[in-house]
Every structure is written in structure tokens, then in C-alpha cells.
Amino acid sequence: MRVTAPGTPLLSVRDLSVSFRTEAGLVRAVRSVSYDVAPGEVLGIVGESGSGKSVSSLAVMNLLPGHAEVTGSARLNGQELIGQSDDALSAVRGSRIAMVFQDPLSALTPVYTVGDQIAEAILVHETVSRGEAMRRAVDLLHTVGIPNAAQRATAFPHEFSGGMRQRVMIAMAIANRPSLIIADEPTTALDVTIQAQILDVLQTARRMTGAAIVLITHDLGVIAGIADRVSVMYAGTIVETGSVDDVFYRPRMPYTLGLLGSIPRADAGERQPLTPIEGTPPSLINLPTGCPFVPRCPMAQDICRREEPGLLPIAGREPADTQRAACHFKDDIEQRQLTSRDIFPAPLPSSDAVRSVPREQRQQMLVVQDLVKSYPQMKGAVLRRKVGEVRAVDGVSFDIREGETLGLVGESGCGKTTTIMEILNLGRPASGHIAVLGHDTARMSGAEKFGIRRDLQVVFQDPMASLDPRLPIGEILAEPLRAHGVAPERVSARVRELLTLVGLRAEHVNRYPAAFSGGQRQRIGIARALALEPKILVLDEPVSALDVSVRAGVINLLERLRDQLGLSYLFVAHDLAVVRHIGNRVAVMYLGRIIESGDVDEVFDRPAHPYTQALLSAIPLPDPHKERARVRIVLKGDLPSPANPPSGCRFRTRCQKFANELTEPQRQRCIDESPALLPRTGSPDHLDACHWATAVEVL
Amino acid sequence: MTDTLQPDGGPAPGLQSGTASGSGAQAPLEDAAASRLQLVWRRFLRQRLAIAGLVVVALLFGVAYLSPYLGRWQYDQLDFTAFLEPPSASHWFGTTQNGFDVFALTMRGLQKSLVIGLLGALMATALAATVGAFAGYFGGAVNTALVTLIDLLMVLPAFLIIAILSPSFRGHTWLIFVVLLAAFQWMVTARIVRGMTLSLREREFVHAARFMGVPGWRIIFRHILPNMASLLIIDATINVSSLILAEVGLSFFGFGVQPPDVSLGTLIGDYANAALTFPWEFYFPAAFLVILVLAINLVGDGLRDAFDPNAQGHH
């Protein structure tokens, strides 16, 4: 181990700036960033996309493309890294600093076995025999929790799932016992239960090697659980830094305050209004003078427009206090103990007029009964024949009543997108029924389907992909109106009305989608879906592609519209916190089946199915105290292939209850008999599909 | 990571980056990000060869159509005082055996070649776009029928068929000839368009339109084809030069443009024998053909690089 004098930082970054020359102008991606990382500590860097958090750490590693202009200094144990030749840095990279990237798919070479790749990482920096390197590679794979490590070391990356690949990346990162690991959004591409596994592995890696970790993420929940200190980046610079507790419980920069107030929380029982930060992060080209947060800050004064505040300590704190904030009014916020709700205007809670009517008396808007969607598996190149089928959706039933929101949650591959596509196609399902407003889709004529499309509309996940880039937004919004024969003179007025409804300016009708930010585009997508005054809206992950600070605005908008217009939502999401916030009811899917459903508070507070319990326990909460005190249920392994699901209960291969609590005869029942969706916990509305369901509190 | 490297509204990679966003002019953006059209145009301007090509094409157009007012002789006028004269002050490119002015002939031929090339390319690309997009979007029986048609046309020898058909349209308008040329030029593009449609069909904005109840043909013309505009523009440009060459080839053998009309092809064909003895008869039309095709190809290459900055040599 390398010895460092106590108190001296392991990594010391000073005045680091990075800029790129592009067609549109000079992009100042990182502006004068300074931070220290002490040996063995975890520094979380949090920020939205474009805040410079990744670029600043890539600059430290000298991994930026050649046209990046990097100035400033980054010293690792006193050794300067910026401006070094690639050769000189190669000795440092991988041995003293290691990196874990976001996308484990592209970070591994597809043509070599993972064992070879880890062994290579060892051989580059140490003189050991090939056999010895390979043996250590197997050890490392075992350490990061890959079962049958010796055998799996000879497998190729494509034979691993995303989570397993990320484990391999971590194994490679710790192969040479680095003193610093930079993890750039290591869990962003992964599902929440896999994220819990990877964060676990990262902690193990840290314990074993004693390495410091710089964890870059946009997820405040992840930071709260694992980091010691946190730095918040905005518009290329650090705007607040301090210990995790200080930043989470005593934020003093309005951006941090707003960010914390805008995240929906899975553990919030009563629905708290989210405080949205209006506007969007600034473009890093031609950044005006003054504080970059001014356009979005309700506290902004003239001084904020004139000069950019430095990152300074807060008045009245003890000298040892490490919290720094870049705001002219930080001391004011400190003295008056302002919270996000004091600074940012939160919308008034919406009225529940429709939902005050008992559920049974409200009209059924959408009914799905035993829906099955299967894809044939074909074999043979010339004479193709069916060798089997994949049941992507296997007997899904739910209903949505007037004015309510059903959250359909599950991890990727569970069949939630297939379910909504089946509904939206209005076709005849392979098996089961879909009824929209009482009309069975299997018996609909073409004209009836066209008519029902007015009432059933959709908002997609990716606002970049769901708007045609070639059409001005006025045309985009007019399209459904024209298709349904709305009189031309009405169209233009309606388009303006829609833009105002979703909080955009009506003068913008002639702009193209490229001129809008992600959040604004999603509002346009919502406006388009509302054009024909539908009764049911299918929302496919409507906020997951948006930046954290603009999510709250879109969620609030959706809530307001639902209550104002009496809409019913089918809200598909993998983010349980969002579902808890906006949902009235929730259905949890696993491998093509619904395994638990019921009232949202009931399911979140007293989950009965072991999978729901694991899912809820895997959500990181943006609350350091709670997060440290929690005991996580970490699921084993990955989602089984839907082509070959386990017999009986589909979850049993990963079930913590099956593995730890059940007796042999009980287990046999799980293997033999597929559990039906029944009320087992007392409440008649709360259904689950577990033979041995018991409600447990996990949040 | 890459998203942090690019400014908002910056160039999207691939062929999706487009032609039709002129938002910059109508609405000054807060972030002053340049619109895509401006970026494409800026990238195009940076390529000197492409600009040179564009200037040359424009000059050729100008000179071809202004030639009746420039020279003293018309293409169907005979000068009985000058047979087989080399270039002189009154006959800039010399004269032919019958006393035709070579400059006037060449310009007339250039007009015809340009019109045939442009018209044919437009037809070929439009046909390719329509057939390819319908096959790709609707799939099923439509796809099978159209793909079979494409495959069938691809194996037919175009040159031979036009040559065989040419006597039957002798004396009729040359437009039939253009249609025939275009009819054998669109298949490869149609296959590319079909492939791109298959992926565009799964894009969310196409799904959105479908779930709104917009009919298929309208989705194709409103959403699918405009989103491959860059491909179609590049394809049309390149088609211009290949159609000009096809016309020249056919006319050379007497199957294309019929006398008394002339094209660069008939001129080259008629005077190829004179290349060594009376070079002005042959080399002037030939040189114009080479310059024209070269210039159009340079413009095509420039457009491709401007639309798709990832293709090569960028940064």
C-alpha cells in the first residue's frame, strides 16, 4: 500500500477548466473546478446532464478527445496529471486510478473473454506470469459476486447481463488495488434491484482495497447512501459542497434546495407537493456573467446578475465546517433556515373531487383481462419453423376507473411496454380481452377503432424521439386534430389553447422541437396527447428521460391535468418513487405477470410479495440517515429469460423468502404451483401472487 | 458522456439531422444555438471543392440557357461560308462539316443533358422514395409485391431494353426517354429507403401518429420521407450525374435524343471519328460533359459530408 501523510489529500484538483470548440461556439464544459479527495473517502459528484460532472473526471484521467482544451491542475499524491503525456499517464491509469464507466456493454471488448481482459489489466502494470494473472482474475470475479467464477472467466462479455458486466468492470478496476476509483454513473443503465447489487459490490471493493471513490451520478438517493462528502455541480462549476449530512439537511444554495425538494420520495406517505425548478439548465455556450442559476432562481437580485458568487464557507459556522456554497444569499438562507418550499413556489394540492366517489361506483375506463402476448421463436434459415414461444405478457389483468392513476411498475424485460403496446394497437389479443370504455377491442370495426383513438392517447418516454424533428410544434399539435376532421379554423385556436394548457407560450407555435429543452418537449408531447380531449392517457415512462430538476414540473403538470380534465392514467414506470407520488393504484409486474396490485399507499407501506419488498428496499432514498440505517434486501442474480421461465412461481429463483425462510415442503409448493393473484393480507383490494405472502414494512 | 460534449440543439449524428428546421430565423433562441440547417450549410461552405462544384454547375446552367443571346449563331443555323472551320472570333468553338456552329450545338446539348439529368433524377428519387417507403411501412403483401418488383427490375438490362424500345418512341417527345431512364434508376435507392423506413417505423413519433389515427400514406409523406430528406437529396444529386451519363451512353449509339435535337451524347457520338482530325468538334462537347459530371459529383459529396458529419474527416 502506498502511504500518505494524514490530512494530505489523495487527489487534489485545482482550477480545472475544460472547453470545447464546436460549430456553435466555445463550450465551457467545466469552469474552474477545485476539490480534494482524501484517502479512502467517497466523494459524490452530483449534477444534471451537461453540468460537467463527467467531463471534469475524464479530464483528470486525460481521457477527453484531443480537441478539448484543459487547464488547471490535478495532483494525485502530489504528482501532476494534467498536461502529462499519454505514456506517462498510462502508468497511473488502471493502477493508481481506475475508472468504472456507465455503459458496461461498450466498456468491455467483445472479442476477448472477461478473464483475459482482467488478466490483461493486471499484466499491463505488474510482472507476473499469465497463469498467475488469470488466477487472480478468477479471484476478483469471485470477489465481485460472479457465481462459478472459474468457469465464467472463460466466457465472453455478451454472455453476461448488464449487471454482471458492471461487476466485471469493477473487478477490472480493483485488479491493481488502485488508491482511487472514479465511477461515472455506474448504475444509471441498470434496474433498481441490480443497482442495489452493484452499489453493494462497490462498497465491498472499497473495503477490500481501501480505495477512495469519486462517484458521479445524477441520483441523489445513491449519493445519500454511499458518499461521505458531496459536491453539487451546475453549469460546469461546483455550486455547493460539504458533508453528505450538511448538503442534504442544510443545503444553502438555492439549486441544491430546489433539487432536493423536487424529487418524489418513495417513503412519503402523505403526498407532498414537489417544488419544481422552473426553466432549464443554461447552455454552456456564451454563458452570461453572473450566477448561472439566475434565470431559474426565485431569490435572484441584481448582484446575482452582475457577479458570479464564489464557493465560500457559510458565516457563523465552526471553522472546521467543510460546507461551501456559491450563492450571494447563502448566509441569509442559513440565518432564516429557509427550505425549498420557502424559496420555490409549490403548486397548491389538487382537488380529489372525482376520486372522492367510492371506486366501485366510478366508471371502468380500461379493463384488461388475462391478456397474453407471445412472440414465436423461429429456427432455421431457409425453412423457418416455430420451435417455441416467448410469452412476454402472460395473463395480465387490471382495470382503471375514472379519474385514477394506475402505476404499472417493473424492471426492464418484465413486459410492461408490451402490455401497453397491445392496448394501444387496439387489436385482437392472442388470448384475453381489452376493453376501452366498455368496448371490446376484439370486436371493433376499423371505424370504431378510429373513433376510440380519440379517447385513448399516449405520451412516450423519450421526448426527443416522440416529436417529429421536421415539423414545427404547431403542426405537430395540429396533426391529431386534422386526422379527426376538426374544422381548420378551430385547429389554430385549439393549438394555442393546448400550448397554454401545458404551460408553454402560444407564440412558440412556429418553433421546431430542436428549439425546446427535454422538459418542454415532454410538455408538447402531453399537449399532443390531450389535443382530442381523451379520457384515458397511457404514459410510458414520461419523466424517466428528463433531468431531475425538470421532472417535478412535468409530474406536477400531469397531476394538475388529471384533476382538472378528469383524466385516467395508465402510468408505466420503473421509478417507484414517481409512481408513489402520482399513482392512486399500483400493479407490480415480474416476468410477464402482475405479482402484486392494490392501493398505492397500501402496497408501498405493507408490501406482501417478496419481489415488491425487494424492489422497494432497493430504491435509494435521498435521506442519508434513513439510507444508512436501512437493511437492504439484495436480490440474487438476474431476471430469468422469459423464453424459459421457472416452473411454478416465476420469482422463486431469486426469492429471498424461498431461499431463507421457507421449509422444504413449502418450497415444493412454490416449484409446483403457480400462485394466483389473490387477496391474502386482509384487505380485499390488495392482491398478491405469493403462496406465503406476509405484509412487511421495508421503507 | 457524449451528451455533455455537445451543445443543446447541436448536430445530431447520422442522417436524421435535417433540412427543414429554420427555427433560427423565426424565433431567436435564448441559448443562441444554431439551427440544423445553418449548421449543414456552414459545414457545406467549409468544403471548397463542393462550393467550386456548385459554382461550376450554376455557371454551366447560366451559359447554356443564355447562349442563344451570347453567340451569333443558333444551333439549327447553318453558316454556308464556314465548313469545318477551327475556332475563330465568329465561331468560338469552330464549325462542323455542314456549317453548324459547335458552340451553339454544345450549349444546346448541355441544356438537354442538364434537363434530362435533373428531371430524371427527380423522378427516380421520387419513385424510389414512394415505393421504398410503402414497402417498408406497410410490410406484408405490399412489401412482398414491391420488393419482387424491385428485384425484377434490378436484373433487367436497362441499356438493352431502352435500346430495343427506342424505335417505338422515335418522333415522339424526348420526355418518354427521360421516363424510361428514370424507370431503371430507382431500385437501389428504393431498397435503402425501405430499410430506413423499417427503422423509422418504430420511432416514437411514428407510433404517436399511428395511435392518433393518422392514415398510413399520410404518415409516410409527413413523417417518414421528410426524415430521410438528407438521404434523398444526396441520392437525387448523385442520380443527376449518372442519368446524364446514361443519356450520353444511349445517345452515343443513337438510341437516345433524336435529331434534329441534340444532346451532349449525340454530339460526342457524331463527332467521335473527328477527334483526331477536327478535334474541336469532339473535344468541346466532351470537355463540357466531363466538367458537368465532375461538378455535380463534387456537390453530391459535399452535401453528404455536410449532412453526415460523422462520415469522414470531421474534426
Strands lying side by side in the sheet with A568-573: A456-459, A536-540, A568-573, A405-409, A585-590, A593-599, A687-688, A678-679
ipTM of the complex: 0.78
SS3 content of chain B, % helix, strand, coil (to 5): 70, 0, 30
% pLDDT > 70, chain A: 97
- Residue the block writes with cell 491493481: A176
Note whether A510 contacts B8, CB cutoff 8 Å. Answer: no
C-alpha cell at position A267: 417513503
* C-alpha to C-alpha distances, A652 to A145, A327, A412, A693, nearest whole angstrom: 20, 52, 18, 13
C-alpha cell at position A583: 399513482
Residue A689 is which amino acid? A
Residue B106 in any domain: the answer is yes
CATH value at residue B268: 1.10.3720.10
Indicate whether B144 pLDDT > 70.
yes
List, for residues B224-264, the tens digit of each pLDDT value.
988 888 888 888 888 888 888 888 888 888 777 777 778 88
Residue B157 in any domain: the answer is yes
Indicate whether B34 pLDDT > 50.
no
Residue B162: alpha-carbon gap to chain centroid: 20
Residue B25 in any domain: the answer is no
CA distance A69 to A71: 7
For chain B, give the mean pLDDT: 78
CATH topology agreement for domains A27-234 and A361-455+534-590:
yes
CA distance A650 to A664: 18
B211 min Cα distance to partner chain A (Å): 7
- Tell me whether the omega of the peptide bond preceding residue B260 falls within 30 degrees of 0, making it cis: yes
Q: How confident is the model at residue A493 (pLDDT cuts 50, 70, 90)?
A: very high
- The answer to whether residues A571 and A405 touch, using CB atoms and an 8 Å cutoff, is yes
Least confident of A101-115, A221-235, B7-21, B42-56: B7-21
Indicate whether B20 pLDDT > 60.
no
Residue B244 in any domain: the answer is yes
Residue B23 is which amino acid? S
Q: Which residues of B144-154 are buried (b: 16+ CB within 10 A; e: fewer)?
A: eebbeebeebe
pLDDT score for B29? 36
Q: Which of A231, A230, A227, A228 is nearest to A239 (CA)?
A: A231
pTM summary value:
0.81
Note whether A479 contacts B5, CB cutoff 8 Å. Answer: no
C-alpha cell at position A290: 453572473
B39 min Cα distance to partner chain A (Å): 7
CA distance A614 to B208: 34
**How many Å is the Cα radius of gyration of chain A?**
27
Q: How confident is the model at residue A613 (pLDDT cuts 50, 70, 90)?
A: very high
Q: How confident is the model at residue A75 (pLDDT cuts 50, 70, 90)?
A: very high
Q: State which residues form the domain around B280.
A: 77-307
Kindly give, in sequence order, each residue whose CB lies less than 8 Å from that of residue A568, ignoring residues fewer than 6 positions away.
Answer: A365, A366, A400, A401, A402, A403, A404, A405, A535, A536, A537, A562
For the segment A121-130, the average pLDDT, to the nearest whole number, is: 90
Residue A350 is which amino acid? S
Residue B252 in any domain: the answer is yes
pLDDT score for A1? 42
Residue with the larger pLDDT of the pair A328 and B266:
A328
- Partners of A372 in the β-ladder: A394, A431
- The answer to whether residues B116 and B181 touch, using CB atoms and an 8 Å cutoff, is yes
Instruction: Enumerate the residues of chain A whose CB falls inside 8 A of the CB of residue B15.
Output: none
Instruction: Enumerate the residues of chain A whose CB falls inside 8 A of the CB of residue B212.
Output: 453, 457, 479-480, 483-484, 528, 532
Alpha helix locations (H) across B253-278?
Answer: 264-271
Kindly give, in sequence order, each residue whose CB lies less than 8 Å from that of residue B260, ignoring residues fewer than 6 positions away.
Answer: B76
- The answer to whether residues A688 and A590 touch, using CB atoms and an 8 Å cutoff, is no
Residue with the larger pLDDT of the pair B116 and A384:
B116
Indicate whether A430 pLDDT > 80.
yes
For chain A, give the mean pLDDT: 88
Q: Is B66 on the interface with A (CB under 8 A)?
A: no
Residue with the larger pLDDT of the pair A499 and A271:
A499
Kindly give, in sequence order, each residue whose CB lies less than 8 Å from that of residue A577, ignoring residues fewer than 6 positions away.
Answer: A263, A264, A265, A266, A619
For the segment B182-194, the average pLDDT, to the nearest whole number, is: 91
Domains of chain A, by residue range, sit at 27-234, 253-264+286-346, 361-455+534-590, 606-699
Q: How many independent structural domains does chain B possess?
A: 1
**How many helices and strands, by DSSP H and E, does chain B display?**
14, 0
Residue A665 burial by Cβ neighbours in a 10 Å radius (0-12, 13-18, 19+): exposed
Instruction: Enumerate the residues of chain A whose CB falls inside 8 A of the CB of residue B204.
Output: 460-462, 465-466
Alpha helix locations (H) across A243-339?
Answer: 244-249, 254-262, 302-306, 330-336
Note whether A286 contacts B32, CB cutoff 8 Å. Answer: yes
- Residue the block writes with cell 475544460: A18
Could you say which architecture CATH assigns to the domain A361-455+534-590?
Answer: 3-Layer(aba) Sandwich (3.40)
Q: Where are the beta strands (DSSP E) in A23-157?
A: 25-37, 42-46, 68-76, 79-80, 97-100
Instruction: Enumerate the residues of chain B whose CB falls inside 8 A of the CB of residue A444.
Output: none
Q: Which of A287, A295, A313 is nearest to A255 (CA)?
A: A295
Question: Which residue in the set A50, A470, A479 is minimally distant from B214, CB to CB?
Answer: A479
Q: Which residues of B63-101 are buried (b: 16+ CB within 10 A; e: fewer)?
A: bbeebeeebebebeeebeebeebeeeeebbbbbbeebbb
Question: Which residue in the set A285, A450, A468 is minimally distant from B7, CB to CB?
Answer: A285
CA distance B71 to B94: 12
Indicate whether B19 pLDDT > 90.
no
Q: Which of A166, A178, A167 is nearest to A122 (CA)?
A: A178
Q: What's the DSSP call for residue A351?
A: P
* C-alpha to C-alpha distances, A624 to A187, A258, A276, A607, nearest whole angstrom: 18, 17, 22, 23
Residue B24 in any domain: the answer is no
Note whether B226 contacts A470, CB cutoff 8 Å. Answer: yes
- The answer to whether residues A442 and A433 touch, using CB atoms and an 8 Å cutoff, is yes
Instruction: Enumerate the residues of chain B whose CB falls inside 8 A of the CB of residue A460.
Output: 204, 207-208
Residue B113 in any domain: the answer is yes
Could you say which architecture CATH assigns to the domain A27-234?
Answer: 3-Layer(aba) Sandwich (3.40)
Q: Which of A285, A475, A24, A512 is nearest to B26 (CA)?
A: A512
C-alpha cell at position B174: 424526348
